[in-house]
Amino acid sequence: MARLKALAREEMDAEQQALMDEIASGPRKAPMTNGPGLGWLRNPKAGHIAQQLGAFCRYGTGHTDDVVEIIICTTARYWSQPYEWWAHKRNALKVNVDPAIIDAIENRTTPKFQSVEQEVAHDITKELLETKKVGKATYERALKTFGEKKLVELTQVVGYYSNIALQMNCFEVAPDDGPSVLKDAAFS
């Protein structure tokens, strides 16, 4: 049970309802009453900006869907954020990421990736989050694989999903199934 109470539609004011409608009319195709939406509803003006940035990170970069979901799952694992993990494990499987890769990320073992792009994206995300920097060899390999523009986009995805992961950890936001959907979640 999150520290922020979920709001039923009839409990929302006009601005909160408009934010949920805006999210539902976009690429997510549904309102977001749990997850990062819990915080966005507390301040719909900020929520409006945040959800647009989120939609860009998820749907608007030059990366393929499987690479985006691997970046997000690696980020969710670092923060041990169960909602982010639950939502993006599901998305990763939908876009045909091998379930063994997702299990390896959850267990903090080295995954066997389906492509060089997946591997490079995972490795740079993990190094950036764990050491707060990126060594020259990792940087150059990523630059060669993705080019500068997509590498900037990769950092935007890591940054955005770190941003909402730490906010959700502040308020113990978990999926309806509870924080135990992720091993060693940040809270139980």
Partner 1 sequence: MGHACENALAAGLTQDVVEAIEQGRPPLFATVEQSMAHDVTREILETRKLSQETYARAAAIFGEAALVELASVVGWYTSLAIQMNIFDVGA
Helix residue ranges, H only, the chain = 14-25, 37-40, 44-55, 65-79, 82-94, 99-107, 116-131, 136-170
Say what the alpha-carbon torsion angle 7, 91, 124, 54 is, to the nearest 10 degrees. -40
Among 12, 17, 141, 187, binds partner 1 (CB under 8 A): 187
Long-range residue pairs from 162-166, CB within 8 A, at least 24 positions apart, any chain: 162/75, 162/78, 162/79, 162/129, 164/35, 164/36, 164/39, 164/50, 164/54, 164/84, 165/75, 165/76, 165/78, 165/79, 165/81, 165/84, 166/79, 166/81
Between 145 and 162, name the residue whose CB sits nearer to partner 1: 162
Q: Please, which residue, 112 or 149, has the CB nearer to partner 1?
A: 149
The nearer residue to partner 1, 33 or 139, going by C-beta atoms, is 139
From candidates 25, 159, 178, 183, binder to partner 1 by CB under 8 A: 159
Stretch that binds partner 1, among 19-27, 59-67, 95-103, 151-159 (CB under 8 A): 151-159
Contact status: 74 vs partner 1 (CB under 8 A): no
> Is residue 170 close enough to count as binding partner 1 by CB under 8 A?
yes
From 19, 32, 124, 174, residue interacting with partner 1 (rule: CB under 8 A): 124
Instruction: Check: CB of residue 72 under 8 Å from CB of residue 105.
Output: no
91 CB contacts (<8 Å, ≥6 apart)? 65, 69, 72
Residue 164 within binding range of partner 1, rule CB under 8 A: yes
Contacts with partner 1, 5-34, as mask; x by CB under 8 A: ------------------------------
Among 39, 44, 82, 175, binds partner 1 (CB under 8 A): 39
Q: Is residue 133 at the binding interface for partner 1, with CB under 8 A as the rule? A: yes
User: Which residues of this chain interact with partner 1, rule CB under 8 A?
Assistant: 3-4, 39, 42-43, 46, 50, 78-80, 124, 128-129, 132-134, 139, 151-152, 155-156, 158-160, 162-164, 166-167, 169-172, 186-187
